Chain A
Amino acid sequence: MNKLMSLLLITLVSLGINLGLASAEGYTKQKVVYHVNFDDEKQLKAALGNIQNHINAVGKDNLDLRVVMHGPGIALLQIANKNADFADKISNLKRQGIHFNVCNNTLQSKKINFKNDLYDVSQEDIVPSGVAEIAQLQTQGFSYVKP
């Protein structure tokens, strides 16, 4: 009878531990696209903060996060080109595996030279259409976030 009781006790304890573990671990792998199409500096700064918080919560190894900029949202990298605080934040996010993608339609229509006018953009960061890219990523299982 004692044996049975202790067995029951161990089971209950192990169940308790498991419940604890599961909630502490929390997140599994996430694929997320952040949509940036606004040029308000405060809002952009807040968006960079959101992304860092997202990484902190989920863990950089659990996260495939793409920032897609188009239209007025291109301002993020224009500001970063002149503002060291923005530049640092973006470089820091890139070191944690975040991708920053730029819409080619926007570059064309606004006549932006990505090498001179934008902060740290290379050819492979450019997508043909920002909106189409966001749509495509969602069909690949990315969640949509508008910060």
Chain B
Amino acid sequence: MNQEKKFSDEFINAFVDDQLTLEEKQQVYAQLSSDETLKWRICELRKTRDLVALAYKEPPMPTRGLAPSLGKRKYSLGVAAGLALMVGTVSGWFLHQTPAPTTLSSARLAAGDETAKVLIHVSDGHVDHLKNALDEVESLMQYYRDSKQTARVEVVTNGQGLSLLLANVTPFAERVQSMQKKYPGLSFVACQNTIERFQQETGVAVKLLPGVIVIDSGVAQIMRRQHQGWAYIQV
């Protein structure tokens, strides 16, 4: 428990932001293997950092993009009022303050290529629900195969949904494995945050099914993928 105090929040923050020297990083890595609390702190910070980064990369919402349209409207009404110059200057200043929505087109480009990209989110752990989710994924993969469309489908589990991929818990081990073999574009993903919480709560080491990919945070993955132009479906 003494080890816990060894790193300050600033230090851990710097680690997450990759601002430490190699030597300092090695100190963190050395302790990571034995210190669950440290792992958890880093994981939480990473999640926050990712969410913040994504939030600021998001283009202004086209549906309620008040800032850009505000500027334009000010301009046109200004003309009508015979105050074009002054209002124009004001609106120009406002427009100057609004960053251009550059990321929207890149997200759409990613979606526009031939490959269908779909993230399926599973957060409910009831057996009926998991069975239904697998049925849906299977019929989706079959649909893409029949229509000769290449597809990447990621089944992201977090919360109770993780039980789908726990080796000693899931009733669907064989089915998941046969689906992985049958559809190369399909992957099953588990959330590191959930795994750690599960281990802390139960005291049992988590064993995942073979071939399951572990990512830092399910929520962050959902946001990343949508940002990259993936479709999102909660089953």
Taking Cβ atoms with an 8 Å cutoff, the residues of A that contact B are: 7-8, 10-11, 14-15, 17-19, 21-23, 26-30, 35, 37, 70-72, 105, 109, 128-129, 131-132, 134-136, 138-139, 141, 144, 146
Contact = CB atoms under 8 A, between A and B. Distances in A.
B203 interface: no
B73 A21 contact: yes
B64 interface: yes
Given A129-B140, A131-B139, A134-B233, A30 B63 contact: yes
B25 interface: no
Interface of B: 62-66, 69-70, 73-74, 77-78, 81, 83, 86-87, 90, 108, 111-112, 116-118, 120, 132, 135-136, 139-140, 143-144, 147, 229, 231-235
A17 B81 CA distance: 12
A131 B140 contact: yes
14 contacts: A7-B86, A11-B90, A22-B69, A22-B70, A23-B66, A29-B63, A72-B132, A105-B143, A128-B147, A129-B140, A132-B140, A135-B118, A135-B140, A139-B116
B86 A11 contact: yes
A129 B143 contact: yes
Contacts of A7: 83, 86
A14 B66 contact: no
Contact of A10 (B62, B81, B132): B81
Nearest to A13: B81
A138 B230 CA distance: 8
A24 B26 CA distance: 56
Contact of A18 (B74, B117, B232, B235): B74
Contact of A144 (B83, B87, B232): B232
B70 A19 contact: yes
Tell me if A's interface is mostly helix, strand, loop or mixed.
helix
A28 B63 CA distance: 5
Given A28-B63, A71-B132, A135 B233 contact: yes
B87 A11 contact: yes
A61 to B, nearest CB: 14
Contacts, number: 95
Contacts of A134: 231, 233
Nearest to B144: A132
A17 B116 CA distance: 46
Given A18-B73, A129-B140, A135 B86 contact: no
Contacts of A17: 77
Contacts of A35: 233-234
A139 B117 CA distance: 9
A89 to B, nearest CB: 24
A22 B70 CA distance: 6
Contacts of A15: 74, 87, 90
A66 B90 CA distance: 41
Nearest to B111: A139
Given A18-B77, A21-B73, A105 B139 contact: yes
Contacts of B143: 105, 128-129, 131-132
Contacts of B63: 27-30
A56 B139 CA distance: 36
Of all A-B residue pairs in the complex, the 9 with the closest CB atoms, nearest first, are: A135-B231, A138-B231, A129-B143, A139-B111, A135-B118, A131-B140, A105-B139, A18-B74, A146-B234
Given A8-B86, A11-B81, A15-B87, 8 more contacts: A18-B70, A18-B77, A28-B63, A37-B235, A134-B233, A135-B116, A136-B231, A144-B233
A131 B233 contact: yes
